[in-house]
Amino acid sequence: MILGIDLGTTNSAVGIVDSGFPILLADEEGQRITPSAVWIGENGEIEVGRKALRRRSLEPERVVTSIKRLMGRRTAELGENFPVAVTSSNEGLPLVLGKSPEEISAEILRELRRIAEWRMGVEITKAVITVPAYFHDAQRAATKRAGELAGLEVIRILNEPTAAALAYGMDRLGEKSRIAVYDLGGGTFDLSILELQDGVFQVLATHGDTQLGGDDLDGLLLTKILTSAGITGLSLAARARLMAEAERVKMALSEQERAVFRVPFYEGSRSIEQEISRADLEELAAPWIAKTQRLCRLALADAQLSVEQLSAVVVVGGSTRMPAVRRGVAELFKREPDFSQHPDEAISLGATIQGGVLSGALRQIILLDVTPLSLGIETFGGLMNVLIPRNTTIPCKAGELFTNAADGQAAMRVRVLQGEREMAKDNWELGTFDVPFAPSAKGQARVGVQFKIDENGILEALARDIATGTDTVIQIHHAAVNVDDAAVEAMVSESVKHAFTDMAERVFTEAKLKAEELLPAVDAVLAQGLALDAERGEIEAAAADVRAALAAGAANPLKAAVQRLDLATEALAARLVELAMDAALERQLAGN
Ligand code: ADP
Ligand code: MG
């Protein structure tokens, strides 16, 4: 089992593929999102997530948030201010409360691992962890190290926009699709443009702001409230409480038009109560949204793409729950973005899917893109010869070599069939074509038949005359993949219902073909007196058995009789081959 982990700046989440399904795992409180917060007590005790945030109003200086910002960076390059005090190690690396960013991130990962193991009831030691597309090597390496400190083998570091695209199923778009992923979280904004080619995502361009996210809006909202209430000089602890309330009000305004900001006794006897409307919030958010739009334009320019050239726009990050943000995205990309996924769960879901694919637990993920029924061609005797079995994932390709059944035959009819029945006549015909070849002795002409289904479900049946390399091709649109559910069900249940008789019919046909080939050869050999006296009796008896079984039309007796005849003529056949080889050798020697 491989965990899929979104180790976010503000929030983290973990998932796993369980019984073929990717699921996110909820903690004891039923929450699938764990705040990326770590409380480090004076004696080194640790609390993670909501438990850590609850300590904020008591010990704000001991609660570390946004640690992701420090990952893989040197103290000297940290321009911005950080929520808690940062010191520097002798090597010039940042330390928070005496711990490295990797160690603190490891605490979050350890908690996610604990939740997963508790939910699944087994030890889990492998993970896929996501990082922003712009993370450089040192930041990726630091993330990997954090995983290792938490006892996890990091199987893959996955780009967040790629994870989002996986969650939305964008990996199944047609060839060469381009996708924009707009990710507005708590502390950062990213816009990535991905190109999907041959099943692999490549980042074409990425732009963003590591200091732009929902937290800023909470700050702007709080400043507005404090200004209008004439409040100044807050303690760190009081500020933490007011910020939490600002965030709650902001989130409420995504659902409703008005909300009340209310914090009783935030400092001594002081309380605040103020009503805020969605319009107030949107006024504050407008410049902030415009900034994300500018960054999107930069990324598009970098990738040299216009919005019309994008196949899809995927929206992730908790802040995209805000209606104004959604409008901003729609306006810029001139389309309604896809909101089918939970914005704050899509990345961990994508990581989980990637983990499932890597562990082999998720082979069924593309079940939608499968052949609903088997595809094949009719072969001699009216049998169905399956080339692509049902439930094969597409795109796919399969082929087989066939030969002519009769002397002097100059063409082969290829009937493209769909269905689960053993006999061609019981399946559906999708198309027919003839493959011409030079008149040939039985078994001499060789025709290769290949079926290819592309990602759009178009079946191409190709037949090649091996001798000349001439191809005959037909295309069958959609019929191969777009079959009505009820029809598929009917076909499958028919095949189950008739399984026994169908099988008997197939066995009989196959044995009959074999008998029709064997009997004339045996008769000829016997007529020429090539059989030894010792064999002759058994061969004649076996041949009579085959004729009787053929006349009776019974599958299993015919199969047994053919086997008996085969066995009786085995030694004779070997001698005939030897004789033929000797004769050929002699002819060759005589020729030289
Ligand atoms: P990150 O990727 O930075 O870890 P998330 O994608 O989880 O963060 O987004 C967290 C941000 O989303 C926070 O600022 C939070 O306030 C904001 N958010 C979550 N839900 C809502 C909502 N319903 N309305 C507005 N903002 C929200
Ligand atoms: Mg995120």
At 291-300, the pLDDT tens digits run 999 999 999 9
Ligand whose nearest atom lies closest to the CA of 9: 1
Taking the C-alpha atoms of residue 484 and residue 372, their distance in angstroms, rounded to an integer, is: 9
| Class (C level, CATH) for 3-162 | alpha beta
CA angle 476, 480, 486 (to 5 degrees): 135
Look at residue 80 and tell me whether its pLDDT is greater than 80. Answer: no
CA distance to 77, 84, 88, 97, per residue, from 92 (Å): 10, 18, 5, 15
For the Cβ of 247 lying below 6 angstroms from any atom of ligand 1, the answer is yes
Amino acid at 73: R
Please give the distance, rounded to the nearest whole angstrom, from the Cα atom of residue 340 to the centre of ligand 2.
17
Give the model's confidence band at 456: pLDDT under 50 very low, under 70 low, under 90 confident, else very high: low
Give the model's confidence band at 316: pLDDT under 50 very low, under 70 low, under 90 confident, else very high: very high
What local confidence, expressed as pLDDT, does residue 225 receive?
A: 95
Please give the distance, rounded to the nearest whole angstrom, from the Cα atom of residue 329 to the centre of ligand 2.
17
Please give the distance, rounded to the nearest whole angstrom, from the Cα atom of residue 21 to the centre of ligand 2.
22
Give the model's confidence band at 369: pLDDT under 50 very low, under 70 low, under 90 confident, else very high: low
Average pLDDT over residues 151-170: 90
For the Cβ of 224 lying below 6 angstroms from any atom of ligand 1, the answer is no
Take atom 12 of ligand 1 and give the residue whose Cα is closest. 318
Q: Which residues have CB less than 5 Å away from ligand 2 (the ion)?
A: 8, 185
Q: 552 with 508: CB under 8 angstroms? A: no
Q: What is the pTM of this model?
A: 0.64
In ligand 1, the atom with minimum distance to the C-alpha of 247 is 16
CA distance to 90, 314, 332, 372, 379, per residue, from 168 (Å): 45, 8, 20, 23, 42
| CATH 3.40.50.150 for the 214-284 domain, yes or no | no
Taking the C-alpha atoms of residue 317 and residue 13, their distance in angstroms, rounded to an integer, is: 12
> Strand 153-159 and strand 126-131: pairing?
parallel
**What is the DSSP code (8-state) at residue 334?**
T
Alpha-carbon radius of gyration of the chain = 36
Residues 259-310 have pLDDT tens digits of 999 999 888 788 899 999 999 999 999 999 999 999 999 999 988 999 999 9
Give the model's confidence band at 222: pLDDT under 50 very low, under 70 low, under 90 confident, else very high: very high
For the Cβ of 186 lying below 6 angstroms from any atom of ligand 1, the answer is yes
Taking the C-alpha atoms of residue 203 and residue 193, their distance in angstroms, rounded to an integer, is: 6
Of 344, 345, 347, the one to substitute when testing ligand 1's pocket (max ligand atoms within 8 A of C-beta) is 344
- Would residue 183 show up in a list of annotated catalytic residues for this protein? yes
Please give the distance, rounded to the nearest whole angstrom, from the Cα atom of residue 128 to the centre of ligand 1.
22
Give the model's confidence band at 126: pLDDT under 50 very low, under 70 low, under 90 confident, else very high: very high
Q: Which of 216, 191, 185 lies closest to 319, judged by CA?
A: 185
- Would residue 224 show up in a list of annotated catalytic residues for this protein? no
Please give the distance, rounded to the nearest whole angstrom, from the Cα atom of residue 116 to the centre of ligand 2.
20
Name the active-site residue from 47, 68, 103, 107: 68
Contacts of 519 (CB under 8 A, 6+ apart): 543, 546, 547
- Would residue 460 show up in a list of annotated catalytic residues for this protein? no
For the Cβ of 10 lying below 6 angstroms from any atom of ligand 1, the answer is yes
Of 319, 327, 345, the one to substitute when testing ligand 1's pocket (max ligand atoms within 8 A of C-beta) is 319
Could you please report the per-residue DSSP string of 405-457?
A: SSTTEEEEEEEEEESS-SBGGGSEEEEEEEEEEEEE-TTT-EEEEEEEE-TT-
Q: In which order are the strands placed within the sheet that holds 396-403? A: 396-403, 446-453, 459-465, 470-476
CA angle 531, 536, 541 (to 5 degrees): 140
Domains of the chain: which residue ranges?
Answer: 3-162, 171-211+289-343, 214-284, 369-497, 499-591
Of 321, 329, 341, the one to substitute when testing ligand 1's pocket (max ligand atoms within 8 A of C-beta) is 321
The CATH code of domain 369-497 reads 2.60.34.10
Taking the C-alpha atoms of residue 296 and residue 298, their distance in angstroms, rounded to an integer, is: 5
Q: Which fold has domain 499-591?
A: Substrate Binding Domain Of Dnak; Chain:A; Domain 2 (1.20.1270)
Q: Which pair of tokens denotes residue 293?
A: 């739009």
Residues 95-123 have pLDDT tens digits of 999 999 999 999 999 999 999 999 999 99
| H helix or E strand, kind and range, residue 324 | helix 323-333
- Would residue 68 show up in a list of annotated catalytic residues for this protein? yes
| H helix or E strand, kind and range, residue 284 | helix 278-303
Q: Which of 129, 128, 183, 133 lies closest to 162, judged by CA?
A: 133
Average pLDDT over residues 28-54: 95
Look at residue 92 and tell me whether its pLDDT is greater than 70. Answer: yes
Name the active-site residue from 107, 111, 160, 465: 160
**What is the DSSP code (8-state) at residue 170?**
G
Average pLDDT over residues 557-562: 90
Taking the C-alpha atoms of residue 16 and residue 109, their distance in angstroms, rounded to an integer, is: 14
Look at residue 526 and tell me whether its pLDDT is greater than 80. Answer: yes
Residue 418 β-bridge partners: 375, 428
Please give the distance, rounded to the nearest whole angstrom, from the Cα atom of residue 168 to the centre of ligand 2.
15
CA distance to 58, 216, 246, 267, 573, per residue, from 54 (Å): 8, 21, 16, 17, 88
Residues 378-435 have pLDDT tens digits of 988 889 999 998 877 777 888 888 888 888 888 888 899 988 888 899 998 888 888 8
For the Cβ of 317 lying below 6 angstroms from any atom of ligand 1, the answer is yes
Residues 11-33 have pLDDT tens digits of 999 999 887 788 999 999 999 99
In ligand 1, the atom with minimum distance to the C-alpha of 214 is 14
Ligand whose nearest atom lies closest to the CA of 160: 2
Taking the C-alpha atoms of residue 258 and residue 215, their distance in angstroms, rounded to an integer, is: 20
Taking the C-alpha atoms of residue 187 and residue 82, their distance in angstroms, rounded to an integer, is: 11
Same fold, 3-162 and 369-497: no
Average pLDDT over residues 568-589: 81
Please give the distance, rounded to the nearest whole angstrom, from the Cα atom of residue 250 to the centre of ligand 1.
10
| Class (C level, CATH) for 171-211+289-343 | alpha beta
In ligand 1, the atom with minimum distance to the C-alpha of 10 is 4
Could you please report the per-residue DSSP string of 51-110?
A: HHHHTTTT-GGGEE--GGGGTT--GGG--S--SS-EEE-TTS-EEETTB-HHHHHHHHHH
Look at residue 474 and tell me whether its pLDDT is greater than 80. Answer: yes
Please give the distance, rounded to the nearest whole angstrom, from the Cα atom of residue 212 to the centre of ligand 2.
12
For the Cβ of 143 lying below 6 angstroms from any atom of ligand 1, the answer is no
What local confidence, expressed as pLDDT, does residue 455 receive?
A: 67
For the Cβ of 34 lying below 6 angstroms from any atom of ligand 1, the answer is no
Look at residue 478 and tell me whether its pLDDT is greater than 80. Answer: no
